[in-house]
A and B are shown apart, each in its own frame.
Chain A
Amino acid sequence: MMLLVEQLPLFPPLVRFFIGLFLVLIITVGSVLFAYWLMKRGE
């Protein structure tokens, strides 16, 4: 049986595409900035 939360609708494909792109960039850039911040703190 599906949970109620699982029955919520999906965004249209194009919207999901841009959400995906946004999330990928945010996570990647965030990881890089975090590593750079750590690097600068260590100096």
Chain B
Amino acid sequence: MPIGDLQIPFIGKELVIVMLVMPHILIATFVIGITTIAPVAEYVGLLTRQPKYDRFARNAAKFTVLIFASGSALAIAFVLALITLYPVFWSYLQNIFFWVLLAEAFMFVGEIIIVYAWYNAWDRMAFRKRLHVVFGFVAGLFGLVQMTFINVVGSYLLTPSEAPATAIGWTYLNPTFMPLNMHRFVGNLSFVGFLVAGWAAWRYLRSETGEDREYYDWMGHWGLVWGFGFLLLQPVIGFGYMKEIQAHNNAAFEYLMMGDKSWLFNLLMIELGIMSVASVAYCLHKLRFAAKPMPVARNLLMGAMGFTALFSLLNVIPADANLVPQIGLVFLNGEETRIPLGGMYPWKYIGLIGMMLVGVLVLALYLKAAVRGFRWGRASRWSQYALLATAVTVTLTMMTMGYARETARRAETPQGSPGWLISGCMTFDQQIVAEDCPAVFEPLP
């Protein structure tokens, strides 16, 4: 290696990257998701003339402006850490993705300007509300496009294109780029929805005035509709994403789905189960306060809750007794001991599809009740604990899935290295293994 290979004592350099990237992603995802949800709330407030939507959007914008600084500082620290700790890797990435990363930087600039303008002009543009809403949506769009650009890099590391590195189109549209984009776009909204619901629950439990109780009760409902609604799409999109990984990086797929890291997906199923059951329980509870009683819908939701719990249980059954080999959690004959109802086909398909269909039914009935109206401010403490549970669980889910995507490159151990930095191309020790990686166009004679 032409330059020093720095090592970090005690925790190792990988952990330095983790401790900068994970908080950054959690904050950045929040920023991107909230700059979609808050402008929608502002617009709904404009259409319905209900001040609670504007109150929510304005507070969300204010918090976004403040949290943006921490998120950006972490991103910059992350890039500095990459340059210092993985210089060869980073210079390769900069070469391959020069235009993408340059464009991404401009998206950051655009996002910063428009988010600040959006919040700052709230009162000044009170009589030009439609234009103001556009500010919010443009902020969301900048964030979304910026996420798309960084997804190019993230997806390329796991499934590099079989094309020269200088072919911008090919490297951009690598095999898992689109599925990752879809998965993250929907995930942003679900994540932020549940966080909003959790925050509302926390404030509801601490509210002292009737007005605040009504507002935070409504806010919990608003967040949950986004969180649960978009969560229902995730299994299908995630399935598509995994199919692409299977087709283009089979070792990573095997490692995650059947190998030593399959416990991550067992954990995901536990998290998905908690979020689904808590969401359905909340909806069921809320129907008690429907402006117009809906006894049939309540009975249906009660049944739906049972089915959601049943499908969740089916999903969490592990395929074999090799549970978490990293900590020695292996029973009987490990991988050779198959657990009944634990296989992917047909049990997990039944579990996931069933959960989604029941979820859609629950959401449809709940939204029908919401259109007729609820009596706000009367929700029980337990319903708020359910919302808090979804917020905590969705954060853990984000961390689990982020870890899964990155650890997938440890499926192979090329040249005795713990894994790949760029799959099939650069090892963890920053050694290039293939001559044509990244390949360049042959110069014309």
Smallest CB separation, A40 vs chain B (Å): 10
Assembly CA distance A34 to B22 (angstroms) = 17
Inter-chain contacts of A20 with B (CB < 8 A) = 11, 15, 18-19
Question: Can you name the residue of chain B whose Cβ is closest to the Cβ of A29?
Answer: B23
Inter-chain contacts of A8 with B (CB < 8 A) = 9-10
Check if B70 sits within 8 Å of A34, measured CB to CB: yes
Inter-chain contacts of B12 with A (CB < 8 A) = 10, 16
Smallest CB separation, A25 vs chain B (Å): 8
Check if B71 sits within 8 Å of A31, measured CB to CB: yes
Assembly CA distance A5 to B200 (angstroms) = 47
Q: Please, how many residues of chain B have a CB less than 8 angstroms from a CB on the other chain?
A: 26
Check if B27 sits within 8 Å of A19, measured CB to CB: no
Assembly CA distance A11 to B10 (angstroms) = 5
Check if B10 sits within 8 Å of A27, measured CB to CB: no
Check if B326 sits within 8 Å of A28, measured CB to CB: no
Assembly CA distance A24 to B63 (angstroms) = 20
> What per-residue 1/0 map shows which CB atoms of A26-43 lie under 8 Å from chain B?
011001101110110010
Check if A11 sits within 8 Å of B26, measured CB to CB: no
With A14-B326, A19-B11, A19-B15 known as contacts, the answer to whether A6 contacts B6 (CB < 8 A) is yes
Which residue of A6, A14, A35, A42 has the most chain B CB atoms within 10 A of its CB atom?
A: A35
Check if A27 sits within 8 Å of B74, measured CB to CB: yes
Smallest CB separation, B73 vs chain A (Å): 9
A–B Cβ pairs within 8 angstroms, 18 of them: A5-B9, A6-B7, A6-B9, A7-B7, A8-B9, A11-B10, A14-B326, A14-B327, A21-B399, A24-B18, A24-B19, A24-B23, A24-B399, A32-B27, A32-B67, A35-B63, A35-B67, A39-B62
**Other CB < 8 Å A-B pairs besides A8-B9, A24-B22, 7 of them?**
A10-B12, A11-B10, A19-B15, A24-B19, A28-B23, A35-B63, A35-B66
- Residue numbers of B with Cβ under 8 A of A are 6-12, 15, 18-20, 22-23, 26-27, 62-63, 66-67, 69-71, 74, 326-327, 399
